[in-house]
């Protein structure tokens, strides 16, 4: 029998939205995000029928909530092959595949990068950043491939956090963009914040609603007037930073349907289904020895194949 909670809206209370009332009732047991998942799953019911979170509860209304199973408190090792670019007793640098989520979250399975790295390291990853994010100091989007650093112990973790926060490192990306800039290089220095209407998106924002974001870009190769390969160096690490900045100057990354990429511009080829962004190189001081480490991650096959196709199809 499933674990349930019963809530009755008090007789002397004013009408209230179901999600607000139940959230206050279960504040010590269930987060708002998990409660929202319960509403979506139809696990919040009144008179045996599921209700939506906006349903207005009146005095005397009784609601039953089927409690979701508890979240796991640790990540289990799972044998998933991942390319290792560098490793010692303190850190490991991997070439994250495109399509792989970095760490567990709502809706993920046991196929994240940390599941793979828990297996590779025999569980030797720092949990200073949280038990569900072992070793994670920085992240890449699910569709973005490339070099990522993980900490194997707490000392390395805290020193890496300091390195990233002080921007004492170089992160170089390559991206295949739609369109060709009229100049060879440029800088985008615009704050980035959460999109006001679409909470899963970011956007260029004003300083009050966004955080500073700085991207340098350079055109490495042009493919007619259709596309270009650009190298991007970021001095900040905002969510979706390169994707937002390149779109803002009119050159969305190919395959980035979230940020304005239009596949109908490329009728002669099959447009990519994922964001063509790759973290190619990372250069940083070792968190313990201080020695400079520079690692380059080979681009994935679909990235290289798209470059070849663009060159054969559009290049003069």
Neighbours of 159 (CB within 10 A): 19
**How confident is the model at residue 315, as a pLDDT?**
73
Instruction: Retrieve residue 24's tokens.
Output: 């206050």
CA distances from 151 to 54, 117, 184 (A): 43, 11, 37
Same domain, 213 and 157: no
Same domain, 205 and 316: yes
Least confident of 12-16, 220-224, 275-279, 280-284: 12-16
Residue 301 lies in a domain: no
**Which residue numbers are catalytic?**
141
**How confident is the model at residue 220, as a pLDDT?**
97
Q: How far is CA 301 from the centre of its chain?
A: 21
Question: Token pair 């080979």 is at which residue?
Answer: 298
Same domain, 110 and 247: no
Least confident of 56-60, 181-185, 207-211: 207-211
Q: How far is CA 148 from the centre of its chain?
A: 13
Rounded (10°) angle between helices 32-40 and 18-25: 130
**How confident is the model at residue 71, as a pLDDT?**
61
Q: Which of 71, 67, 63, 72 is nearest to 2 (CA)?
A: 67
**How confident is the model at residue 27, as a pLDDT?**
81
The whole-angstrom separation of Cα 179 and Cα 201 is 22
Domain end point (choices 166, 189, 224) = 166
Share of the chain above pLDDT 70, in %: 97
Contact call for residues 137 and 150 (beta carbons, < 8 A): yes
Specify the pTM: 0.78
Instruction: Retrieve residue 34's tokens.
Output: 């998990």
Output the average pLDDT for the chain: 92
Question: Token pair 């899963």 is at which residue?
Answer: 200
Same domain, 187 and 247: yes
**How confident is the model at residue 302, as a pLDDT?**
97
How would you classify the pairing of strands 292-296 and 214-223?
Answer: unpaired
Same domain, 314 and 196: yes
Same domain, 235 and 193: yes
**How confident is the model at residue 85, as a pLDDT?**
98
**How confident is the model at residue 213, as a pLDDT?**
94
Using pLDDT thresholds of 50, 70 and 90, give the confidence band for residue 154. Answer: very high
Instruction: Retrieve residue 81's tokens.
Output: 């092959």
Report the number of distinct structural domains present in the chain: 3
The whole-angstrom separation of Cα 78 and Cα 118 is 7
**How confident is the model at residue 286, as a pLDDT?**
97
Instruction: Assess whether pLDDT exceeds 90 at residue 290.
Output: yes
* Residue 52 belongs to domain spanning: 4-66
| Average pLDDT score over residue span 132-138 | 92
Region at 24 (left for phi over 0; alpha for psi -120 to 50; beta for the rest): alpha
Same domain, 208 and 285: yes
**How confident is the model at residue 121, as a pLDDT?**
95
238-254 pLDDT, tens digit each: 999 999 999 999 999 99
Instruction: Assess whether pLDDT exceeds 70 at residue 316.
Output: no
The whole-angstrom separation of Cα 30 and Cα 80 is 32
Same domain, 187 and 312: yes
Same domain, 117 and 196: no
23-49 pLDDT, tens digit each: 889 887 777 777 888 898 899 999 999
**How confident is the model at residue 1, as a pLDDT?**
40
Residue 152 lies in a domain: yes
83-130 pLDDT, tens digit each: 999 999 999 999 999 999 998 876 778 899 999 999 999 999 998 888
**How confident is the model at residue 105, as a pLDDT?**
77
Contact call for residues 125 and 154 (beta carbons, < 8 A): no
> Using alpha carbons only, what angle is made at residue 294 by residues 291 and 300, rounded to the nearest 5 degrees?
155
């Amino acid at each position: 029998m499933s674990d349930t909670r019963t809530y009755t809206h008090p007789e002397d209370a004013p009408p209230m939205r179901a999600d607000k009332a139940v959230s206050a009732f279960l504040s010590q047991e269930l987060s708002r995000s998990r409660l929202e998942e319960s509403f979506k799953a139809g696990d919040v019911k009144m008179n045996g029928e599921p209700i939506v979170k906006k349903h207005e509860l009146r005095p005397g209304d009784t609601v039953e909530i089927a409690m979701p199973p508890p979240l796991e408190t640790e990540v289990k090792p799972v044998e998933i092959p991942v390319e290792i670019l560098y490793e010692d007793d303190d850190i490991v640098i991997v070439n994250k595949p495109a399509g792989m989520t970095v760490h567990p979250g709502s809706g993920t399975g046991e196929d994240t990068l940390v599941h793979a790295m828990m297996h590779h390291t025999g569980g030797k990853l720092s949990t200073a950043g949280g038990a569900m994010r072992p070793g994670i100091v920085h992240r890449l989007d699910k569709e973005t491939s490339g070099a990522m650093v993980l900490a194997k112990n707490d000392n390395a973790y805290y020193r890496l956090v300091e390195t990233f926060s002080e921007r004492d490192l170089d992160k170089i990306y390559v991206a295949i963009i739609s369109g060709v800039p009229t100049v060879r290089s440029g800088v985008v220095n615009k704050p980035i914040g959460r999109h006001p209407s679409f909470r899963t998106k970011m956007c260029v924002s004003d300083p009050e609603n966004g955080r500073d974001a700085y991207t340098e870009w350079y055109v490495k190769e042009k493919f007619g007037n259709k596309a270009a390969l650009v190298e991007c160096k970021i001095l900040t690490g905002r969510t979706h930073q390169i994707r937002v900045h390149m779109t803002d100057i009119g050159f969305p990354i190919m395959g980035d349907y979230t940020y304005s990429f239009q596949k109908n511009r490329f009728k002669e080829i099959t447009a990519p289904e994922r964001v063509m962004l790759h973290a190619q190189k990372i250069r940083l001081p070792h968190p313990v020895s201080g020695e400079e480490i520079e690692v380059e991650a080979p681009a994935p096959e679909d990235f290289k194949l798209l470059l070849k196709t663009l060159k054969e199809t559009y290049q003069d």
